[in-house]
Structure 1
Amino acid sequence: MATVGRDSAAPGTGQGRLVVVLGGLSAVSPFATDMYAPGFPGIVRSFGTTGTAVQLSLAACLVGLAVGQVVLGPVSDARGRRRLLLAGSGMFSVWSLVCALAPSIAVFDVARLLQGIAGSAGLVVGRAVISDRFSGVQAARQLATLSVIAMTAPVLAPVAGGLLLGIGSWRLVFVALAVTGLVLWLAVRAWVPESLPAERRRSGGLRAVLAAMGGLLRRRELVGYLLVVGCGLAALFAYITGSPFVFQGIYGLSPTGYGLVFASNAVGTVVAGALFERLAGPVRLHSLLVIGVLITVAAMVTLVALLATGISTLPTTWACLFGLTFGFGILLPASTALVLAVGSDAPGAASGMLGGAQFVLGAAAAPLPGVPGGTTAMSMGVVVLGCVLLSAVALVTLAGPPTAPAVRPCGPCR
C-alpha cells in the first residue's frame, strides 16, 4: 500500500543535503565492517592473539548490525527518528574510539559488537526517514541512491584502510571511524529534521513494538519481499566470501588483480542502481524486481552449467558474476521499496525487519562455499545459485501478483 499524507522536501529546501547525510549514515557501517580488514595481522600482533579471535570481532560487528536494526527500527516508530540518529552516530563515534584504545582482544570484541549496534541506527532509521518523507517512485529512487552508496562502501573501505595503514597502525583506522561518527552527528544535527511527528508515533512500549512486527509478518507479500532481498543478499555474501579463493587460488590472480575484478563487479551494482532510478516510475516496481531476480538466476544458471561441462575460465566466471552483481543492483532497491510500501504504517519496524533478514541470511550463507572442504568455483556457484533460486521461489509463491497501490504508487504527497 502507498502511504499518503507525507511531506517531501521540495527542491531547494535541503532535500539534497538530507539524502547526502542519510547516504553517509548508510555507508559508515560497511566501512566499519571492512575498513580494518587489512590490519588483521597487526591486530593479532598487538594483542598477542589468534587470527580466529580477530575474525570474531567481525562476526560481533555483524551481529550488532543485525540485532540493532531489528530493535531500533520499531523503537524509532515510537520515539521518533532524529534522536535515534543522533544517539547512534554519537555512540558509534564513542565505541570506535574504544576500539582504537582497546587494551585487549576481549575489550576490542565487545566494543565491536556495540559499535555495530550503534552503526545500525543509520541504516535502519535512515530508510525509515526516506519512507516518512517520500512515497512511491520518489521513495524508490531515494532508496536506490542509499543502496548504491551502501554497496559501494565495502569496495572502498579496504582501500581506505590500506592507505591509513600506510601511515599508522590499525588503531588509526578506528580513530578515523570515530571522527567520521562525529562528523555525521554534526550533519544530522544540522540537516536532518524530525520526520515522524508525535501524532504519527506508536505508543505502548515493547508490547506495541512486538505487535507491530507481528502484524507485518502476517502480511504474506511482505514476508515474500523480505525473503527475496534476504536470499539475494545471502547470494552476495556467498560470492564475497568465495570469490577470493576462486579468483586467486584457482585462476591465479594476485590480490591486486582480484581487487580489480571485485571492483568491476561492484561497478555493475552501481550501474544497475542508476538504471533502476531511471526506470522507476515508467516501469512497475514489482516488474523491476522480477527483472532483477531473473538476471541473477540466469547469470548463475549459466555459470553452473559452464562449470558442469568443464568450462572454467577467468573470463566466463567473471562475466557471470558480473551478471549476478548487476541483477542485485536492481533487486535490492526494488525489494526495499516494496517492503517499505507494504509496511508503510510501521516503516521503522519494516525497515528493522528488512535489515535483520539481510544480515541474518547473509551471515548464514557466507561460510557455505567452503563447507565441502575447500572453496571451488563449483561450490561457490552452487551455493549462490541456490540462494537466488530461493529468492525467485519467494517472489513467486509469497510475494505473488503485485497489488496496484504497491507497485505503481503515487509520487511524493505534498
Structure 2
Amino acid sequence: MQRTLIVMTPVQIIGFCLAITAFELLTYMASDMIMPAMLTVTGEFNANTRHVANAFNLYLIGGVCLQWLIGPLSDRYGRRRLLLLGCALFGLACSAAVITQRIEAFNALRLIQGMGLGFVVAVSYPTLQEVFCEADAVRLMALLGNVALLSPLLGPLLGSLLLEWLSWRQMFLGLAVTSVVVWLALFAWMPETIDVVRRDGQRQPPVAFSLRQIGLGYLALLRNRRFIGASLTLGLMSLPLIAWIGLAPVLLMQRLELSALVYGLWQIPVFAAVILGNLLLDRLLVGHTLAQVIGLALWPFCLGLLGLIAAALSSAALPLAVCALAVYALGLGMSNAALYRLALFSSDAGKGLVSAMIGMLSIAVMGSGGSLIAIIGGGSNLQSFSLLAGLGGLLCLPLLYRLLRHPPRPPHINKDIR
C-alpha cells in the first residue's frame, strides 16, 4: 500500500489493518450472531417479540449517540487513544450483558454496545483515509467491508450453531473476551495520526478542541447540501438491507416457522452478493472514477429493488424476495465505499468531525427507517416487508442524481511511499 504521512513497517501496516478489521467485525458480530437467540432472550425475560427489532435498532442508534463528540475528540487527541477507549467500552458492555436480568437493561446495554460501532465509523474510517491514498483507501474500505460482511453472512449461522452448546449469556462472554484480544492488537499496531511530520518538514498540529467550534463545524456541514445529500443517500441505500437484518428473525423464524439454521442459510445469498459487489468495486476502480462506479452500480441496485416490490405481489414471496435482495445487495456493495469517500471529501473540515456527521446522519436514517418499516407492518409478513423496503431504498435516487451531476473531487493525498 502507498502512504506518506505516517512511517509504518510492513508488519505494523498488516497488524493495523487486521486489528481495525477485527474490531469492526466484532461490533457487527455482537449484533448478528445474537439475532438467532433474540426470541430466546425475549422468552427468558417474558418480553414482547417486538423487542427483537427494538434491540437491533437500539444497537444502530447507539452507533450515533457519541459520534458527534468522538470525531472531534479524535481530531484533537488522536485516533489511537479514542479507538482504544471505544474497544474497552464495548467489551465492558458485553460483559455486563452476561448478568442482566431485565429486557430494559438488556436493551440499554445493546445501546452501549452499539456505541462501539460509532467508534469504528468516526475513528477507524478516517484513519484509513489519512494513512492511504484515495484508490488504496477505497479498496481497503471495500475489502475490509467484505470481512465485516462475514458477520451478517456467517453470524446467524454461527449463532445458531453456538446455541446448540452455549447460552446467549455465554456468547456475550465470548465477545467480551475477544474484545480484550482486539484491544491488545490495537494497542500494539495502531499508529497515531496527530503531531506527524509533513512532507515540507513542518509538524501537523492537533486540531483545537472547542465545543463552540465543534458546534460551528457541524452547523457548516448541515448547510453543505452536497454533504447532506451524500450522507442521507448512504443511509437510504442501505435501508433495505438493514431492515432485512432487523426483521428477518421475526419474518422467517416466527411467521414462517423456519428453524434457526434455515434462517441462517437464507442470509447467504444476500450478503454474498454484497461481498461480490465489493470485489467488483476493486476491479472497476482501475479504469473508472468514483462517480462512474456508482453510476454502474445503480443498475443492479434499482433492478433489485424493483424486483423486491414485485415480490410483494407474489405468493412465492420468500425466494423472490431473497433473489431481489441479492441483486440489490450487489449494487450496494459496488457503490457503498465509493459513496462514503465522496461524502467524506464534500467538506474541508477535520475528517474526524466529517466522518462523525456522516455516521450520525446515515445511521439515523437506517435506524429510524428500519423502525418505521417495522411499526407500519414490515414485520407482519414478507409481502409487506418487500413493498416497504423496496420503496424505502428507491427514495435515495433523487439525492443520488443531484450528487452525481456535480460530484466532489477528493484530493489525491498520500501518494508517495515512505
Residues 317 and 383 in structure 2, CA contact (< 8 A), matched pair in contact too:
no
Q: Distance in 2 between matches of 1:397 and 1:221?
A: 8
SS of the counterpart of 1:195? coil
Which residue among 326, 331, 349 is the counterpart of 1:327? 331
How many residue pairs get aligned? The number is 408
Distance in 1, Cα, partners of 2:369 & 2:162: 31
Equivalent in the alignment of 1:168: 166
Offset at residue 317 of structure 1 (A): 3.6
Q: Do structure 1's residue 298 and structure 2's residue 303 form an aligned pair? A: yes
Q: Report deviation, 1:157.
A: 2.2
Q: Is the 8 A contact 2:301 2:331 kept in 1?
A: yes
Specify the alignment match of 1:130 in structure 2: 128
Question: Corresponding residue for 1:218?
Answer: 223
Could you report, residue by residue, the CA deviation over 1:144-176 in whole angstroms, capped at 9, with x for unpaired residues?
A: 123222322122223333333322322111111
TM-superposed CA distance for 1:13, in Å, is: 4.7
Q: Is the 8 A contact 1:143 1:336 kept in 2?
A: no
Aligned residues of 1:269 and 1:326 also touching (Cα < 8 A) = yes
Q: Which amino acid is 1:320 matched to? A: A
With over 3 angstroms needed to count, the CA separation of the structure-2 counterparts of 1:255 and 1:177, relative to structure 1, is closer
1:412 corresponds in structure 2 to: 415
Note the C-alpha offset of 1:274: 1.2
Structure 1 residue 126: Cα displacement: 0.8
Deviation at 1:373, TM superposition (A): 7.7
State yes or no: 1:349 paired with 2:353. Answer: yes
- Aligned-partner SS, 1:225: helix
Equivalent residue, structure 1, for 2:80: 82
> Where does residue 366 of structure 2 map in the other structure?
362
Unaligned runs of 5+ in 1: none
Q: CA deviation at 1:132?
A: 1.5
**Which string of whole-angstrom CA distances, capped at 9 and with x for unpartnered residues, describes residues 365-408 of structure 1?**
224455258644543333233233221211112453224x33x8
Superposed CA offset, 1:8-56 (max 9, x none): 6677252222111111121122112222223334434554554445764
Conserved in 1, the CA contact under 8 Å of 2:54 and 2:371? no
Equivalent in the alignment of 1:148: 146
* 1:97-121 deviation line (CA, Å, top 9, x unaligned): 1111224444333333222224421
Separation in structure 2 between the aligned mates of residue 243 and residue 402 of structure 1, nearest angstrom? 35
Residue of structure 1 aligned with 2:10, choices 9, 12, 26: 12
The 5 Å alignment of 1:102-117 reads 102-117=100-115
1:284, distance to aligned residue in structure 2 (A): 0.4
In structure 2, what is the Cα distance between the partners aligned to 1:261 and 1:13? 38
Once the two structures are aligned, what percentage of the paired residues are identical? 25
In 2: Cα distance, 1:341 partner to 1:184 partner = 29
Instruction: Map 1:154-193 onto structure 2 (within 5 A).
Output: 154-193=152-191
Q: Measure, in 1, the Cα distance between the counterparts of 2:102 and 2:240.
A: 34
Q: Does the 8 A contact of 1:96 with 1:115 survive in 2? A: yes
User: Does the aligned pair in 2 maintain the 1:97–1:178 contact within 8 Å?
Assistant: yes
**SS of match in other structure, 2:165:** coil
State the match for 1:379 in structure 2: 384
Change (3 A) 1:366 1:293: same
2 CA distance for matches of 1:262 and 1:346? Answer: 38
Query: SS at the partner of 2:186?
Result: helix
Aligned partners of 1:42 and 1:169 also within 8 Å: no
Question: Could you tell me how far apart the structure 1 residues matched to 2:160 and 2:30 are?
Answer: 14
Distance change >3 Å, CA 213–CA 293, structure 1 → 2: farther
Q: What one-letter code is carried by the residue in structure 2 that aligns with 1:353?
A: M
Q: Structure 1 pair 43/236, CA: closer, same or farther in 2 (3 Å)?
A: closer
Deviation at 1:248, TM superposition (A): 7.1
Quick one: which amino acid aligns to residue 184 of structure 2? Answer: L
**Residues 286 and 30 of structure 1: is their aligned pair in 2 closer, same or farther, counting only changes over 3 Å?**
same
CA distance in structure 2 between the partners assigned to 1:106 and 1:363 by the alignment: 19
Q: Secondary structure at the match of 1:71?
A: helix
Whole-angstrom distance in 2 between the partners of 1:233 and 1:369: 13
For the residue of structure 2 that corresponds to 1:14, the secondary structure is helix
Deviations 1:203-259 (A, max 9, x none): 142122222222233332222211221111112223334556766789886554443
Question: Normalising by structure 1, what TM-score?
Answer: 0.87
Q: 1:96 to 1:313 in 2, by over 3 A?
A: closer
- Partners of 2:39 and 2:308 lie apart in 1 by 34
2:137 to 127, 136, 139: 139
1: CA distance, partners of 2:115 / 2:245 = 23
Contact 1:242 1:375 in 2 (8 A): no
1:118-157 Cα deviation digits (max 9, x unpaired): 4421332110111211231111111112322232212222
2:199 corresponding residue in structure 1: none
- The answer to whether structure 1 residue 202 and structure 2 residue 207 are counterparts is yes
Structure 2 residue ranges without an equivalent (≥5): 197-203
> Aligned AA for 1:321?
L
Residue 366 of structure 1: SS of its match in structure 2? Answer: helix
C-alpha separation in 2, matches of 1:246 and 1:117: 27
> Are residues 193 and 224 of structure 1, via their aligned partners in 2, closer, same or farther at CA, if it must alter by over 3 Å?
same
Distance, in Å, in 2 between the alignment partners of 1:50 and 1:265 is 28
- Letter paired with 1:98: A
Residues 1:6 and 1:68: Cα distance change in structure 2 (over 3 Å)? farther
Over aligned residues, Cα RMSD in angstroms?
3.1
